[in-house]
Amino acid sequence: MNIFNLVSKNLLRRKGRFVFTLLGITIGMAAFVALLSLGSSMQRELRAQAGMLDANLVITPTNWCAFDQISILTGEALPESLHYDVMERISSIYGITAVPYLTQRTAIQNLPVMVTGIYPNEMKDFRRWEIAQGVYFAADNERAVVLGSSIANNFDLNLGDVLTIRGEPFPVIAVLSPTGSNDDTSVYLPLTVVQEIYEIGPYISFIVARVSDITNMDSYIAAIVDVVNVSVTSDEQLLSTVLTMLGSVNATLQLIAGVALISAAFGIANTMMAAIYERRREIGILRAIGGKSSAIFKIFLLESGLYGLLGGIIGVVVGFVASIVAAPIIAQSGISVLMKGATPTASFDVSIVITAILFSIVISVVSGLYPALKAAKLTPVEAISYD
């Protein structure tokens, strides 16, 4: 009988104990993989949203807190805090193309949706929108709405349907082609109309800008700050701030999964210790017929390593399934406070699979070290004389 047959036979000798020990490491690994997978998908989602912002600079009021900054990437409604004058002064700087955003909320079929006030023509060019159905705004003060593609699909809205916003009816005149960004999830109206119906006055939420020479970013930022008192962030800085905050949330979640793994490791150590006491006589016989202590050590270490391998593989599968189930729930829960709007989706990542399985094996082998050493140190007389 080779060593691998011996190891697998030993493991399956007490099937109940084998299943429960395996369950411990499997659940720990599943939690670890699910959190790792969701964390990386959240990061990817944010990077994608930042890319789709397709702007070099984001201009916000100086008093905005981190939540507001994050909301730009995640597509949440934001307070109207910048005076319209700011927009005009920034637009007058040579080399900068800027568009204002005024983000509010309303409800369709009792579900919250975003309403964005825009400069119709400038925004269409800036965002490179294409019209899937209908005719786009003909005037800057047209009292009608254009829908993002997801809004039209999710609420089954068609051209000519009427949306009531702040008690006023607005006909749907066009639907945008899908963009894959947050643009798909908003209802668009001309800026002046949103300012009027929401009784906001001459204010906007924030401005995004594109510069003609990205190697000169600092000088553009300096030029903006020179003419208006605002906070100017490059798209990369914004993303980096958000990812840093997300990183600390991820680290906390992984720590929780780590605790589950450590308790699973103690479970393996406990199982291996029990196995040694049960198999003392067998160890003694092996030693008596010439088995080396290194061979005994190897057998027990392989047994605990096998727990890690099996637990790792099953845990990866369960973890990915759990992340698929959990993704939509997390998108609506307190865990994703920082992620509101950016829906995490489960994602299969080979590096996570390899890391998780290796990590599982290492943890199991480490937890099996002490029991294996104990088994290897038993002398034949000690082992056989055990009753």
Partner 1 sequence: MKKIPLFFVLFIMTVLIAGCSDDNANALAVRDIQSDPFAFTGELRVNGIITDFFEHDTRIFNLKDTAETLVCLSLVCDSFRLPVIYVGGGDIPQIADEVDVIGQWSDTEYGVIFEATSFEVRRNIMRIIERGPNR
What is the distance of C-alpha 259 from the center of its chain? 21
Is 169 one of the binding residues for partner 1 (CB under 8 A)? no
The stretch among 12-20, 287-295, 297-305, 348-356 that binds partner 1 (CB under 8 A) is: 12-20
Quick one: which of 132, 325, 354, 381 contacts partner 1 (CB under 8 A)? 325
The residue length of the chain stands at 387
- Nearer Cβ to partner 1, position 65 or 350? 65
- Tell me which amino acid residue 378 is: L
If DSSP codes are grouped into helix, strand and coil, which group holds residue 366? Answer: helix
Task: Report yes or no: 179 and 149 within 8 Å, Cβ to Cβ.
Answer: yes
- Nearer Cβ to partner 1, position 336 or 364? 336
How many residues of this chain bind partner 1 (CB under 8 A)?
Answer: 38
Helices (H) and strands (E) in the chain, counts: 13, 12
Task: Report yes or no: 90 and 207 within 8 Å, Cβ to Cβ.
Answer: yes
Draw the binding track, 112-151, toward partner 1 (x: CB under 8 A; -: no contact). Answer: x--x------------------------------------
- Nearer Cβ to partner 1, position 180 or 328? 328
SS (H, E, C) 280-318: HHHHHHHHHCCCCHHHHHHHHHHHHHHHHHHHHHHHHHH
Is 232 one of the binding residues for partner 1 (CB under 8 A)? no
The stretch among 11-19, 37-45, 90-98, 213-221 that binds partner 1 (CB under 8 A) is: 11-19
- Tell me which amino acid residue 254 is: Q
- Nearer Cβ to partner 1, position 326 or 372? 326
Is 255 one of the binding residues for partner 1 (CB under 8 A)? no
Compute the Cα dihedral for 210, 80, 203, 199 and give only its sign. positive
- 222-230 LR contacts (CB < 8 Å, sep 24+): 223/93, 223/96, 224/57, 224/59, 224/90, 224/93, 224/96, 227/89, 227/90, 227/93, 228/85, 228/86, 228/89, 228/90, 229/62, 230/59, 230/60, 230/61, 230/62, 230/82, 230/86
Is 70 one of the binding residues for partner 1 (CB under 8 A)? yes
Is 177 one of the binding residues for partner 1 (CB under 8 A)? no
Is 245 one of the binding residues for partner 1 (CB under 8 A)? yes
Is 338 one of the binding residues for partner 1 (CB under 8 A)? yes
Phi/psi region, residue 324 (left: phi>0; alpha: psi -120 to 50; beta: rest), is alpha
Q: Provide the minimum distance between the beta carbon of 45 and partner 1 in the complex, in angstroms, as a whole number.
A: 17
Is 329 one of the binding residues for partner 1 (CB under 8 A)? yes
Cα(first)–Cα(last) distance of the chain, in Å? 27
Quick one: which of 82, 87, 118, 165 contacts partner 1 (CB under 8 A)? 165
Q: Which residue has the tokens 């994602």?
A: 347
Q: Provide the minimum distance between the beta carbon of 328 and partner 1 in the complex, in angstroms, as a whole number.
A: 9
Q: Provide the minimum distance between the beta carbon of 237 and partner 1 in the complex, in angstroms, as a whole number.
A: 15
Quick one: which of 160, 167, 169, 290 contacts partner 1 (CB under 8 A)? 167
Is 104 one of the binding residues for partner 1 (CB under 8 A)? yes
Is 326 one of the binding residues for partner 1 (CB under 8 A)? yes
Is 19 one of the binding residues for partner 1 (CB under 8 A)? yes
Q: Are strands 57-60 and 231-234 parallel, antiparallel or unpaired?
A: antiparallel
Residue 177 per-residue DSSP state: P
- Tell me which amino acid residue 356 is: A
Is 259 one of the binding residues for partner 1 (CB under 8 A)? no
Quick one: which of 340, 349, 369, 373 contacts partner 1 (CB under 8 A)? 340
Q: How many CB atoms are located within 10 Å of the residue 248 CB?
A: 9
Interface of this chain with partner 1, residues 289 to 318, rule: CB under 8 A: 318
Is 110 one of the binding residues for partner 1 (CB under 8 A)? yes
**Interacting residue ranges for partner 1, rule: CB under 8 A:** 15-16, 19, 23, 27, 65-67, 70, 76-77, 79, 104-107, 110, 112, 115, 164-167, 198, 244-245, 248, 318, 322, 325-326, 329, 332-334, 337-338, 340
